[in-house]
């Protein structure tokens, strides 16, 4: 088999879902049925292969994405099992950036949950074709049709069942294959071989009508994409399974439909059909569009097709620190072939390095390989100057792929080493963790000298601190969580500044007049040059824009970054000898600061989208508690006997909420939380926050005075 034919048999997929929908359990079954694992691991027992970190085993959740490879229906399947908790959403983001397809797992009881919507949007962003697996069909309250309807309504997708369940809850026995029109039944005593064998047979008489209705819907949908199916369906002629599968595959890869399957991974039912669907319907590297990038110098658009004979091109999507082999750099190869010891060029950094050992990963286990080629997802040992999002290529054919973008951190804590020796160790560990996790930040506060670590949520920082103290053995203490506030403005205002400095030879001269005005929330920064004539020579405009950006890095209230501001350059003056980039950058910095003081500056705080699932009897207490936390209830929905409360609440008032929610509901309610937007802090709260910093809110009069 030549290299290109081999690529047709590769499937690079991710397993994505809301927390606790059953991603890792599904992956464990996949590894067992494909023969990759001889024993089935369980999340609740802490024995899941893919949850190998001690923190994952203790908490029973996935924290870091884990990669593995298995074989099914003559296909090599590279799988990345991703976290479901919103604090670790960056792991999903970077995995989807390099994957060709995804399996989205839904809970058959809860259906589409908040994080299901988040991961679906991420998959839309990268144009990733996907399958839907309605899991937990054996649970009380499971409903396949309701879950399919929610995928259609909430995710605005076009779900098409390719099998439907036989029974539900404790009567769930298997499924009906709508392509072959056969029933797949697991024996009642199937625990002997852990669901590895099942029987195919005729559809039970009582389910014939339902199966035919579902089959008609499948064929009607596919007839829009294949004239042969349309013709045969209208004439009531038999349609070959191969034609149906090929059309399903084409429509799925184009993102027109989402094939839906039913199962119960924990009860070992339906996973083999999911594996078949991965091989049949999800794309190979040859089926996805060529990867696009830019030439680092000319900025010309370049496309790289997935060709093993083409120029080597790979993207670094993850870095992990392994105690045995050091830094592991995970890469997705888009084009070309490279052997161990081959030289690669890091385009963004302009540096050359040699590939050390090449490893095929199976969670935290490693298998050495001697070469990599287009379509592969592997780990590399031996690269030193490299970061997440870097492009690795052949030096003669450089291309810069689009880097992976990550959200800003919203929560911080101070961390302090026990002594001077531990401080040096802490510094090394923090640098290693920042390399691993792009949503983790460590900085030193210039005023207090404290080390501040920032992340995406309480759980994120809790896990980071646990790794620092336990995995890396650093003795350190941690302060209380702090919110990552920002600053904004309420009004438009003008500012002016001259930077004049006379020294022996050439002096410095820059004179800038600007106007600042608020932008709608979430719009960021905008710079407009409105100067006319030759007041300020063109070459200095870029320096003025940079000075404006510098001024917004730390605000006039409490030194937080200023967001959602438009800066317009109105005018100024220059000196033909003394003007320079530096002089105009400093003048712009001072002018923008001057304008910000007059523009009614205001403190902004992150507001969270909170969704609470609770039995009805606790709803009153939970809503009352949410209102006491400055939260606003947006809507209340009923699903079965559970109430879903959608709220918006400031992050600063949500610390410790999980503990309080447990006590309010006797442990029966649960919640999810993700960043919604930044909004103004009420004056009464703002006074307390700014008072803690020793700041008083400036007034335009005081600023002018």
Residue 270 CB neighbours (<10 A): 28
Residue 298 counted as an annotated binding residue: no
User: What does the pLDDT read at residue 279?
Assistant: 94
Nearest Cα residue to 613 out of 680, 670, 679: 670
452 forms bridges with which residues in the sheet? Answer: 414, 443
User: What does the pLDDT read at residue 695?
Assistant: 47
Taking all residues of the chain, what is their mean pLDDT, rounded to a whole number? Answer: 85
pTM listed for this prediction: 0.73
Residue 136 counted as an annotated binding residue: yes
Domain covering 291-401: architecture: Beta Barrel (2.40)
Q: How far apart are CA 547 and CA 543, in angstroms?
A: 6
Q: How far apart are CA 581 and CA 510, in angstroms?
A: 9
Q: How far is CA 440 from CA 81, 331, 477, in A?
A: 21, 20, 18
Q: How far is CA 524 from CA 107, 352, 679, in A?
A: 37, 36, 13
Top-confidence residue, 252 or 663: 252
The residue-averaged pLDDT of 649-663 equals 85
Q: Which helix (H) or strand (E) covers residue 488, if one does? A: strand 486-489
Which residue do the tokens 């918006």 mark?
648
The residue-averaged pLDDT of 552-561 equals 88
351 forms bridges with which residues in the sheet? Answer: 346
Tens-place pLDDT, residues 688-701? 777 654 444 444 33
Q: Do the domains at 291-401 and 606-690 have one common CATH topology? A: no
Residue 135 counted as an annotated binding residue: yes
Residue 142 counted as an annotated binding residue: no
- CB-CB contact of 358 with 369 (8 Å): yes
Name which of 7-16, 19-28, 176-185, 278-287 the model is least confident about: 19-28
Top-confidence residue, 406 or 132: 132
Tens-place pLDDT, residues 435-476? 888 888 898 876 667 788 888 777 788 888 888 888 788 898
Exposure string (b/e) for 394-420, b if CB count within 10 Å is 16 or more?
A: beebbbbbebbebeebbbbbbbebeee
Q: How far apart are CA 78 and CA 502, in angstroms?
A: 65
Domain boundaries, the chain: 3-204+257-281, 291-401, 411-479, 486-599, 606-690
Q: Catalogue the E-assigned strands of 217-374.
A: 258-262, 291-294, 301-304, 313-322, 326-335, 337-339, 343-346, 351-354, 358-362, 365-369, 371-373
Residue 138 counted as an annotated binding residue: yes
Most confidently modeled range among 43-57, 493-507, 509-523: 509-523
In this predicted structure, the answer to whether residue 118 has a pLDDT above a threshold of 90 is no
Q: What is the CATH number of domain 486-599?
A: 3.30.230.10
Residue 579 CB neighbours (<10 A): 25
Q: How far apart are CA 121 and CA 144, in angstroms?
A: 22
Q: How far apart are CA 168 and CA 263, in angstroms?
A: 10
Burial of 2 (0-12, 13-18, 19+ CB in 10 A): exposed
Q: How far apart are CA 234 and CA 220, in angstroms?
A: 9
φ/ψ of 9, rounded to 5, equals: -95, 10
- CB-CB contact of 325 with 381 (8 Å): yes
Residue 307 counted as an annotated binding residue: no
Query: 626 pLDDT band (50/70/90 cuts)?
Result: very high
Residue 137 counted as an annotated binding residue: yes
What is the Cα gyration radius of the chain? 29
**Which residues have a Cβ under 8 Å from the Cβ of 56 and sit 6 or more positions away?**
48, 62, 63, 64
Q: What is the CATH number of domain 606-690?
A: 3.30.70.240
Residue 362 counted as an annotated binding residue: no
Q: How far apart are CA 26 and CA 631, in angstroms?
A: 36
Please report, rounded to a whole number, the percentage of residues in the chain having pLDDT higher than 90: 39
Structure tokens at 500: 């004049």
Residue 19 counted as an annotated binding residue: yes
Residue 3 counted as an annotated binding residue: no
Q: Are strands 291-294 and 258-262 parallel, antiparallel or unpaired?
A: unpaired
The residue-averaged pLDDT of 375-386 equals 88
Nearest Cα residue to 335 out of 252, 249, 398: 398
Residue 53 counted as an annotated binding residue: no
Query: 65 pLDDT band (50/70/90 cuts)?
Result: low
CA dihedral sign, ordered 277, 279, 283, 287: negative
Q: How far apart are CA 316 and CA 379, in angstroms?
A: 9
Residue 201 counted as an annotated binding residue: no
Nearest Cα residue to 88 out of 59, 111, 62, 109: 62
Nearest Cα residue to 130 out of 333, 264, 278, 276: 278
Q: How far is CA 299 from CA 211, 398, 401, 532, in A?
A: 55, 11, 11, 30
Top-confidence residue, 18 or 427: 427
Residue 44 counted as an annotated binding residue: no
Q: What is the CATH number of domain 3-204+257-281?
A: 3.40.50.300
User: What does the pLDDT read at residue 705?
Assistant: 31
Q: How many residues does the chain have?
A: 705
Nearest Cα residue to 389 out of 319, 463, 471: 319
Nearest Cα residue to 643 out of 110, 218, 29, 86: 110
Tens-place pLDDT, residues 639-648? 767 888 999 9
Residue 635 CB neighbours (<10 A): 8
333 forms bridges with which residues in the sheet? Answer: 314
Q: How far apart are CA 126 and CA 562, in angstroms?
A: 30
Burial of 250 (0-12, 13-18, 19+ CB in 10 A): middle
The residue-averaged pLDDT of 156-165 equals 95
Residue 64 counted as an annotated binding residue: no
Residue 83 counted as an annotated binding residue: yes
**Which residues have a Cβ under 8 Å from the Cβ of 98 and sit 6 or more positions away?**
12, 315, 317, 332, 377
User: What does the pLDDT read at residue 565?
Assistant: 94
Q: Which class would CATH give 411-479?
A: alpha beta
Q: How far apart are CA 618 and CA 660, in angstroms?
A: 12
Tens-place pLDDT, residues 385-408? 888 889 999 889 999 998 888 877
In this predicted structure, the answer to whether residue 51 has a pLDDT above a threshold of 50 is no
**Which residues have a Cβ under 8 Å from the Cβ of 647 and sit 6 or more positions away?**
609, 610, 611, 612, 626, 631, 632, 633, 634
φ/ψ of 127, rounded to 5, equals: 60, 40
Q: Catalogue the E-assigned strands of 519-626.
A: 525-529, 565-573, 601-615
Q: How far apart are CA 315 and CA 413, in angstroms?
A: 32
**Which residues have a Cβ under 8 Å from the Cβ of 499 and sit 6 or more positions away?**
508, 509, 510, 511, 583, 584, 586, 587, 590
């Amino acid at each position: 088999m030549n290299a290109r034919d081999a690529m047709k048999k590769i499937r690079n997929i991710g397993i994505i879902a809301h927390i606790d929908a059953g991603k890792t359990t599904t992956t464990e079954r996949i590894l067992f049925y494909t023969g990759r694992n001889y024993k089935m691991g369980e999340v609740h027992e802490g024995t899941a292969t893919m949850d190998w970190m001690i923190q994952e085993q203790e908490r029973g959740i996935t924290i870091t994405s884990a990669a593995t490879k298995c074989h099914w229906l003559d296909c090599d399947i590279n799988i990345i099992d991703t976290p479901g908790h919103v604090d670790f959403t960056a792991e999903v983001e970077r995995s989807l950036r390099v994957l060709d397809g995804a399996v989205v797992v839904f809970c058959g009881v809860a259906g589409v949950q908040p994080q299901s919507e988040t991961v679906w949007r991420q998959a839309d962003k990268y144009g990733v074709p996907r399958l839907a697996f309605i899991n937990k069909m054996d649970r009380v309250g499971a409903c396949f049709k309701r879950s399919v309807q929610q995928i259609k309504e909430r995710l605005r997708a076009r779900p098409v069942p390719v099998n439907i369940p036989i029974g539900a809850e404790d009567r769930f026995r298997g499924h009906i294959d709508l392509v072959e029109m056969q029933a797949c039944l697991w024996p009642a005593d199937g625990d002997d071989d852990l669901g590895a064998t099942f029987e195919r047979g005729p559809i039970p008489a009582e389910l014939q009508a339902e199966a035919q209705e579902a089959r008609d819907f499948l064929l009607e949908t596919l007839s829009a994409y294949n004239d042969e199916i349309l013709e045969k369906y209208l004439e009531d002629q038999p349609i070959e399974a191969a034609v149906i599968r090929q059309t399903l595959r084409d429509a799925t890869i184009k993102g027109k439909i989402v094939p839906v399957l039913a199962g119960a991974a924990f009860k070992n039912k339906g996973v083999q059909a999911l594996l078949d669907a991965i091989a049949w319907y999800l794309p190979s590297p040859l089926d996805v569009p060529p990867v696009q990038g830019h030439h680092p110098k000319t900025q010309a658009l370049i496309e790289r097709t997935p060709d093993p004979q083409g120029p080597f091109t790979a993207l670094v999507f993850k870095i992990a620190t392994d105690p045995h082999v050091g830094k592991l750099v995970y890469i997705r190869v888009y084009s070309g072939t490279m052997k161990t010891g081959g030289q690669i060029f890091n385009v963004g950094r302009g540096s050359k390095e040699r590939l050390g050992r090449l490893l095929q990963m199976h969670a935290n286990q490693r298998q050495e390989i001697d070469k990599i080629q287009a379509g592969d997802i592997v780990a590399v040992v031996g690269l030193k100057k490299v970061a997440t999002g870097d492009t690795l290529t052949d030096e003669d054919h450089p291309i810069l792929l689009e880097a992976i973008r990550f959200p800003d951190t919203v929560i911080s804590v101070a961390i302090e080493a026990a002594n001077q020796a531990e401080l040096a160790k802490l510094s090394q560990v923090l640098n290693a963790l920042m390399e691993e996790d792009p949503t983790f930040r460590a900085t030193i506060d210039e005023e207090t000298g404290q080390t501040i670590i920032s992340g995406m949520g309480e759980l994120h920082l809790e896990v980071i601190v646990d790794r620092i103290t336990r995995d890396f053995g650093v003795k350190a203490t941690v302060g209380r969580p702090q919110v990552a506030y920002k600053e904004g403005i309420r009004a438009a205002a003008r500012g002016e500044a001259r930077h004049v400095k006379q020294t022996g030879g050439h002096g410095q001269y820059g004179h800038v007049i600007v106007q600042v005005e608020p932008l709608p929330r979430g719009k960021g920064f905008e710079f407009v040059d409105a100067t006319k004539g030759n007041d300020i020579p063109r070459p200095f405009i870029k320096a003025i824009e940079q000075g404006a950006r510098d001024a917004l890095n730390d605000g006039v209230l409490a030194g937080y970054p200023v967001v959602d501001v438009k800066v317009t350059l109105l005018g100024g003056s220059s000196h033909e000898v003394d003007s320079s980039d530096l002089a105009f950058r400093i003048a712009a910095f001072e002018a923008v600061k001057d304008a910000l003081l007059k523009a009614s500056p205001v403190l902004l705080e992150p507001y969270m989208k909170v969704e609470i699932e609770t039995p009805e009897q606790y709803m009153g207490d939970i809503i009352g508690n949410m209102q006491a936390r400055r939260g606003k209830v947006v809507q209340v929905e009923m699903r079965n006997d559970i109430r879903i409360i959608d709220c918006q609440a400031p992050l600063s008032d949500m610390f410790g909420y999980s503990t309080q929610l447990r006590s309010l509901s006797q442990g029966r309610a649960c919640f999810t939380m993700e960043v919604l937007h930044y909004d103004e802090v009420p004056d009464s709260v703002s006074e307390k926050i700014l008072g803690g910093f020793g700041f008083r809110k400036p007034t335009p009069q005081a600023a002018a005075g």
